[in-house]
Amino acid sequence: MMMRLMMKSNTLAEHFPYRYVECGMLDSNGRPDFRIQKYNEYTKRYIDMYLCDNGMQLAQAIEDVEYTKWLDPEGVPCYIKGDVYE
């Protein structure tokens, strides 16, 4: 039986219910493992929602919460016409 070690995540930013974390390094290419996690009201824990392709994508998601909503598989409304963004 193979045991997988859980890597402690480093929270980089948070826009509730989302948080942006780094979870060590990827085995495939040695680059940082960036993820967006979403708070689950039922379990009272954060779970992985989206695995980012790279640091630039994570930075965009942190800067633009509407982009994070767009990535959410639950279909959260985002970029609603008529909203004003600064």
* Run means of pLDDT, 10 residues per run, the chain, 86 residues: 58 96 88 94 95 94 96 92 66
How far is residue 49's CA from residue 37's CA, in Å, rounded to a whole number? 5
Question: Cα angle vertex 54, ends 51, 57, to 5°?
Answer: 85
pTM over 0.85: no
- Per-residue confidence (pLDDT) for residue 3, from 0 to 100: 40
pLDDT attached to residue 82: 74
What does the pLDDT read at residue 6? 55
Question: Helices marked H in the chain — which ranges?
Answer: 55-63, 65-71
